[in-house]
Structure 1
Amino acid sequence: MLKAMHRPFHVAPWQLTLGCGLFKLLLAAGAFALPLLHVDALPKLVGWLLLAGGLSELLLSWTGRHSWVGRITFGSGALTLVLGALFVGGPWHGLYPLAPFVMIWFLLRALLSIDVAFQSRLTPMANWIWLLLRGFVDLALGLLLLAGAPFAMLVIAVFGEAPEFVRLFSATLGLSFAVAGGGLCAIALTQRRYRRPDPFMTNT
């Protein structure tokens, strides 16, 4: 009965999880640097950051596809790839037209992360607090964009896309990547410290 009620938390090698986490931290640094670049190039640059992040999550989710981490990284990776494709493939000028899609991305990732955090809280290697933190950070960022959208729309209509909006957008994206990357690094190091299979992996 216990085996039927639980999935293993993690089956991917800890080295791969750590690598994915570090890669996410690099993407966070790139996102924070976006205000230094030319505005017209930002949508496609953001799109490539998102595509890179989504592909890294899908790689991790494939090796851990029967695990809690696999579940969250597959869902998050798929959402991130879709959003990245919108940024890269669309005829966008500036970041604001894509802000509603980013807001939805944050909210969906938040719900997924919070759900997995609570379901994995009794698993020794889960570091479920990181998953919960990631969920609440993405939820807060999504609500922040939602709350600021009407004011930003008015300012952009009058003055064009202001540097302040670009900085806010890049900060929210960078923070999301940073928390996700930090969480994956923490999970990988916890798994390495235990140096034993997850008890729920046996005969699953």
Structure 2
Amino acid sequence: MLKTMHRPFHVSPWHLTLACGLFKLLLAAAAFALPLSQVDDLPRLVGLLLLAGGFSELLLSWTGRHSWVGRITFGSGALTVVLGALFIGGPWKGLYPLGPFVTVWFLLRALLSIDVAFQSRLTPMANWIWLLLRGFVDLALGLLLLAGAPLAMLAIVVFGEVREFVTLFSATLAVSFAIAGGGLVAIALTQRHYHRSDPFMIAS
């Protein structure tokens, strides 16, 4: 006998999920182009990208705010908005002073994504492998920034904020956006396949 467990994975319409995923892919492309910008403009541009990404997550999570995954998505978006506000509103020059905040952001988002992936692995439309991939990618990016911080600081002290650091920073941000966007697109297409936006986990 089948028993339905009312534990919705995602309650946003599939076309909203798809739009958010495509928007994240556009943000990834913009992040890859950051090294072409003037160094003095970088904190503000990164902040704008983070704000855009964070608000898109908040929008996506709003319809699911009463579900467990909706609250986690909302928390992830809120973290991103706070980080974007730090980039825009702080008295920062260059990207390096904000490196530790970005590292913490990557690690926190990684924990959230991995937790959601394992919690939703039996849900038909969760595409939990994408969520797990996103979590491990963010974890790897956070650890990469953490490991490279001493060398980056030495190079900045000697040469100033070098283009290589800017390129690495931009690439990590772009990869994170790209994986998140790709995952949302995959989830949206699976939602569309099942023809409903609020799947429930069904267990025997």
TM range (shorter): over 0.9
**Contact 1:9/1:69, CA 8 A, preserved across alignment:** yes
Q: 2:26 matched to which residue of 1?
A: 26
Q: 1:78 matched to which residue of 2?
A: 78
Q: 1:163 matched to which residue of 2?
A: 163
Q: 1:193 matched to which residue of 2?
A: 193
Q: 1:121 matched to which residue of 2?
A: 121
Distance in 1 between residues matched to 2:81 and 2:89, nearest whole Å: 12
Q: Write the mapping of 1:27-176 to structure 2, written as runs, cut at 5 A.
A: 27-67=27-67, 69-176=69-176
Once the two structures are TM-superposed, the CA of residue 7 in structure 1 deviates from its matched residue by 2.0
Distance in 2 between residues matched to 1:120 and 1:146, nearest whole Å: 29
Once the two structures are TM-superposed, the CA of residue 161 in structure 1 deviates from its matched residue by 0.3
**TM-score, normalised via structure 1 length:** 0.93
Q: For 1:99-134, what per-residue CA distance to the aligned partner results, in whole angstroms no more than 9, with x for missing partners?
A: 000000000000000000000000000000000000
Once the two structures are TM-superposed, the CA of residue 91 in structure 1 deviates from its matched residue by 1.2
**TM-score, normalised via structure 2 length:** 0.93
Distance in 1 between residues matched to 2:124 and 2:182, nearest whole Å: 18
Distance in 2 between residues matched to 1:6 and 1:109, nearest whole Å: 25
Name the aligned partner's letter for residue 128 of structure 2.
W
Runs of 4+ in structure 1 off by over 3 angstroms are 66-69
Distance in 1 between residues matched to 2:130 and 2:66, nearest whole Å: 20
Summarize the Cα distance change of 1:177–1:193 in structure 2 as closer, same or farther, 3 Å threshold.
Answer: same
Summarize the Cα distance change of 1:6–1:116 in structure 2 as closer, same or farther, 3 Å threshold.
Answer: farther
Once the two structures are TM-superposed, the CA of residue 71 in structure 1 deviates from its matched residue by 3.2
Distance in 2 between residues matched to 1:133 and 1:78, nearest whole Å: 21
**Contact 1:113/1:135, CA 8 A, preserved across alignment:** yes
**Contact 1:125/1:198, CA 8 A, preserved across alignment:** yes
Name the aligned partner's letter for residue 184 of structure 2.
L
Farther off after superposition, 189-198 or 43-52: 189-198
Once the two structures are TM-superposed, the CA of residue 69 in structure 1 deviates from its matched residue by 4.6
**Contact 1:7/1:66, CA 8 A, preserved across alignment:** no
Distance in 1 between residues matched to 2:66 and 2:123, nearest whole Å: 14
Highest RCO, 1 vs 2 (Cα 8 Å, sep ≥ 6)? 2
Q: Secondary structure at the match of 1:186?
A: helix
Distance in 2 between residues matched to 1:67 and 1:124, nearest whole Å: 16
Q: Secondary structure at the match of 1:65?
A: coil
Once the two structures are TM-superposed, the CA of residue 198 in structure 1 deviates from its matched residue by 1.4
Name the aligned partner's letter for residue 110 of structure 2.
A
Q: How many residues align?
A: 199
Once the two structures are TM-superposed, the CA of residue 89 in structure 1 deviates from its matched residue by 0.1
**Contact 2:124/2:201, CA 8 A, preserved across alignment:** no
Once the two structures are TM-superposed, the CA of residue 64 in structure 1 deviates from its matched residue by 1.9
Q: For 1:72-96, what per-residue CA distance to the aligned partner results, in whole angstroms no more than 9, with x for missing partners?
A: 3212100000000000001111000
